[in-house]
Structure 1
Amino acid sequence: MADESALRTVDVARESGYSVQQVRDLERLGVIPAATRSGNGYRAYAPVHVRALRAYRGLAGAVGPVAARQLMADLWTRTVTEAAAAISAVHVGLARERDEVLRAQQALWAIESEATAHHGAVETEAARQGAAEGADTMTITELAAALGVRTSTLRFWEREGLVAPERVTSLRARRYDASAIGAARIVAALRGSGYGIPAVRDIIDSLHSLHSLQEGGGPERVRHILAERLDRIAARSVELLRAGADLAAVLDSLTPARAPAPA
């Protein structure tokens, strides 16, 4: 007797909002587990397949389709504890992105403050806070870790004239002062917003031009970019939250966490 609770491919497509072909493709990619086969050879899905596809849609909005496919395929091989940790890491990653953009905004305020000081202007409280944050120098390893990039990326930015570290000790080790750290934060935010190296170089150059500052071109442009990036991060966070209930259903279908062996 056929399982009346089983869903056909067309049922899953209708409930998930994907096409029949997309459902098959996502099954092939491991986003959803393989369907069982009925006696006549047709695919038979369960409600968890629909929840998994909805979860994938939210994850794709939060981290992009490639990362979402990798994460969903990985979840099916994990215990509940491991899968929950992987999903929590996505939330942490978005929070880190948001924090870095906020630090880039503070760095921008500090750069503007330094420039306006040359014109006899008084620093704003926000600018003073931005200048104070990270006032200590950083090594290339420390700065790379703070920005979530590789040390080779910082060296590349240096070669491209985007960030200028100080060099100290007989080994010519790189150290970054507050100004360089601020510039690196802005570069990281601009690159994260999809700007190419030439465009980033133009923007960074404009930030250090007092004439540009008087016209409001460089800083105003960066302010707009950073605000847009914060908006996009917020939208991605909402997509992740929207996927929450469906992700929970996926986790409920996984193997329970393994109990530790008795001592």
Structure 2
Amino acid sequence: MTTAQLARAVGYSTQQVRDLERLGVLPRADRAPNGYRRYLAHHAVALHAYRSMAAAIGPVPARTLMPELVGGTVEAAAERIDELHGALAQERMQVRDALRGLEVAVGESSDLFSEEDAMTISELAHALGVRASALRHWEREGLVHPARASLSTARSFGARAVTEARIVAALRSGGYGIPSIARVLEQVREQPVTADAQRILTERLAGLTRRSVALLAAAGHLHELLEMLGAEAAGAGEDG
């Protein structure tokens, strides 16, 4: 195939094909006597592998990783794919924990809470499994509002502050940044519902599933590519 033919076959532009070959995502193409690149079937497979990998981990990481995978062994590629699946599984577990934590946090917010039950920063940090410095950072960002008589007195986390901290901890464990969490807290403060927070986390789970499926596709294409390259190398050795 010519560059244009390969580009049409996989839905890329000719410039994208040239760039990906230059970056090592594609194996180097041979040149015809007229100087034009000649692409074979394994180049199309490599592009499909890259497209799926980009959907799974992002275009920039995929462009960095693909040359390593293309130039390596099946065993090394399998190990790297396992690591990526493991990272996605860990992230999925964190999001699910965040959903459960959010439900518990808002459910507990309606419980009777005596001011005598207020928690110190160290007690709350221990209960949430975070550092006290994290709670101080959340306070500076306006996410949690502990009671303090003055700057020199200790913080006291009452019912509202504990609920805020639980929600922040739940969403942070799901990978969300401060601006997104602030928007969720605004809704929770206005009305004790978690629809928006649950929607955000549920969409995150769906996105992780799409990435996992794309990684499965990338693994299949990559295995096919490495098998083709191995067969071609073996054939060249016999010819030699």
| TM-score of the alignment, normalized to the shorter chain, above 0.5 | yes
Write the distance in 1 (CA, Å) between the matches of 2:9 and 2:96. Answer: 39
Instruction: Specify whether residues 139 and 233 from structure 1 end up closer, same or farther in structure 2 by C-alpha distance, changes over 3 A only.
Output: closer
Alignment partner of 1:104 is 2:89: no
Write the distance in 2 (CA, Å) between the matches of 1:253 and 1:178. Answer: 57
Write the distance in 2 (CA, Å) between the matches of 1:23 and 1:95. Answer: 32
Match of 2:25 among 28, 31, 35: 31
- Residue type of the alignment partner of 1:116: S
Write the distance in 2 (CA, Å) between the matches of 1:80 and 1:181. Answer: 44
CA deviations over 1:137-158 (Å, ceiling 9, x no partner) = 6464xxxxxxxxxx9x898556
Match of 2:88 among 88, 94, 101: 94
Instruction: Specify whether residues 203 and 181 from structure 1 end up closer, same or farther in structure 2 by C-alpha distance, changes over 3 A only.
Output: closer
| TM-score normalised by L of structure 1 | 0.65
Write the distance in 1 (CA, Å) between the matches of 2:92 and 2:220. Answer: 24
Instruction: Specify whether residues 71 and 199 from structure 1 end up closer, same or farther in structure 2 by C-alpha distance, changes over 3 A only.
Output: same
| TM-score normalised by L of structure 2 | 0.71
Alignment partner of 1:226 is 2:201: yes
CA deviations over 1:36-94 (Å, ceiling 9, x no partner) = 12222211222111101001111111111111111112213322222211112221122
* Counterpart for residue 252 of structure 1: 227
Match of 1:197 among 178, 182, 188: 178
**Long gaps (5+) in structure 2:** 114-125, 146-161, 232-240
In terms of fraction of residues, the more helix-rich structure is 2
Alignment partner of 1:212 is 2:191: yes
Write the distance in 2 (CA, Å) between the matches of 1:29 and 1:154. Answer: 44
Instruction: Specify whether residues 35 and 161 from structure 1 end up closer, same or farther in structure 2 by C-alpha distance, changes over 3 A only.
Output: same
CA deviations over 1:14-43 (Å, ceiling 9, x no partner) = 222212221111111221122112222211
- Residue type of the alignment partner of 2:92: R
Q: Which moved more, 1:242-251 or 1:58-67?
A: 242-251
Counterparts of 1:107-256 in structure 2 under 5 Å?
A: 107-118=101-112, 138=129, 140=131, 157=138, 159-162=140-143, 183-189=168-174, 191=176, 197-204=178-185, 206-207=187-188, 209=189, 212-213=191-192, 216=193, 219-253=194-228
Counterparts of 1:50-65 in structure 2 under 5 Å?
A: 50-65=44-59
Task: Classify the secondary structure of the residue corresponding to 1:117.
Answer: coil
Task: Classify the secondary structure of the residue corresponding to 2:174.
Answer: helix
Kindly name which structure, 1 or 2, has the bigger radius of gyration based on alpha carbons: 2
Contact 1:31/1:69, CA 8 A, preserved across alignment:
yes
Contact 1:59/1:240, CA 8 A, preserved across alignment:
yes
- Residue type of the alignment partner of 1:212: Q
- Corresponding pairs, count: 204
Write the distance in 2 (CA, Å) between the matches of 1:48 and 1:158. Answer: 55
Task: Classify the secondary structure of the residue corresponding to 1:109.
Answer: helix
Write the distance in 1 (CA, Å) between the matches of 2:59 and 2:207. Answer: 16
- Compute the displacement of 1:104 (Å): 0.3
Instruction: Specify whether residues 116 and 82 from structure 1 end up closer, same or farther in structure 2 by C-alpha distance, changes over 3 A only.
Output: same
Contact 1:9/1:44, CA 8 A, preserved across alignment:
yes
Task: Classify the secondary structure of the residue corresponding to 1:32.
Answer: coil
* Counterpart for residue 44 of structure 1: 38
Write the distance in 2 (CA, Å) between the matches of 1:243 and 1:237. Answer: 10
CA deviations over 1:185-212 (Å, ceiling 9, x no partner) = 3124262xxxx533422424654x4x62
The CA RMSD measured in Å over matched residues stands at 3.4
Write the distance in 2 (CA, Å) between the matches of 1:78 and 1:155. Answer: 47
Write the distance in 1 (CA, Å) between the matches of 2:59 and 2:211. Answer: 12
Q: Which moved more, 1:65-74 or 1:236-245?
A: 236-245
Alignment partner of 1:11 is 2:5: yes
- Compute the displacement of 1:9 (Å): 1.5
